[in-house]
Structure 1
Amino acid sequence: MKKSHGPAFRREIKPLMECGICRGATVVSGVFHQLDCTACNASGWICAETGDALPLDVLVQQLSLRLRSTNAELSRARQPIGGAHEQYEQNNRRGAGGTNYTGD
């Protein structure tokens, strides 16, 4: 069943890209000092679909969603990968009488 009206049930990650004016640095060089980039609201990120700066409340949500997904991906990558020794030590019940068969 597709939703036809109302707010979305879940927040979706919008595609972001680095600001082309400040190149993600959040500041641009003035004559004597650095100024906040107005093209990206001094965040360094703009919407990849429209090229416009995101409102700050939406930007905070999008960066939080990206940070959470990146942290989850890193935690999955840091988990130790089981090798053949783990399978060798488990009882696979393939031997005679349901014993462990290792193929040796």
Structure 2
Amino acid sequence: MMKKHGPAFKKEVIELAQCPACKGKAVISGVFHQLACVQCNASGWVTAATGEALALHELVTQLSMMLQAAHRQIQELKHPRTIGPGAIYQAPNRRGAGGTNYTGD
């Protein structure tokens, strides 16, 4: 085991799952009104491995990391990259006359 001093350089991504008690809704239906779920600290998310609630500052960080990953995935789906032989013809290479695209055809 390596010796380690201080905090980690990168924040560890914790796998999250929906709370089994409230099924991700953050509230539980009482007799007359809805109550905040105590199993997940009214967030709807728990640690996937242990099923325990995260501390609020850790939960904010983990949800932000999930949101950023979702935004990256959406951007990739909006602008797919062309791969294979067609990629050469789609990307401008500025090798032609006046900086135009030259494909060699």
Bin for the TM-score computed over the shorter chain: 0.7 to 0.9
Question: What code does the residue aligned with 1:58 have?
Answer: E
Q: TM-score, normalised by structure 1?
A: 0.76
Distance 2:60 2:14 in 1: 12
How many angstroms does 1:101 deviate by?
3.2
Change (3 A) 1:32 1:86: same
2:52 aligned with 1:52: yes
Three-state SS of the structure 2 residue aligned to 1:35 is strand
1:20 aligns with 2:32: no
Q: Which runs of 5+ in 2 are unaligned?
A: 96-101
What is the rounded CA distance, in whole Å, between the counterparts of 1:89 and 1:56 in structure 2?
45
In structure 1, the gaps of 5 or more residues are 94-98
Deviates more, 1:28-37 or 1:79-88: 79-88
Of all paired residues, the percent bearing the same amino acid is 43
The aligned counterpart of 1:79 is 79
C-alpha distance in structure 2 between counterparts of 1:46 and 1:28, whole Å: 15
Q: Which residue is equivalent to 2:104?
A: 101
| Distance across 1 between alignment mates of 2:77 and 2:91 | 24
Match of 2:10 in 1: 10
Q: What's the C-alpha RMSD, in Å, of the aligned pairs?
A: 2.7
Aligned length: 95
Are 1:27 and 1:37, in contact at CA under 8 Å, matched by a contact in 2?
yes
2:13–2:62 CA contact under 8 A, matched in 1: yes
Query: Bigger radius of gyration, 1 or 2?
Result: 1
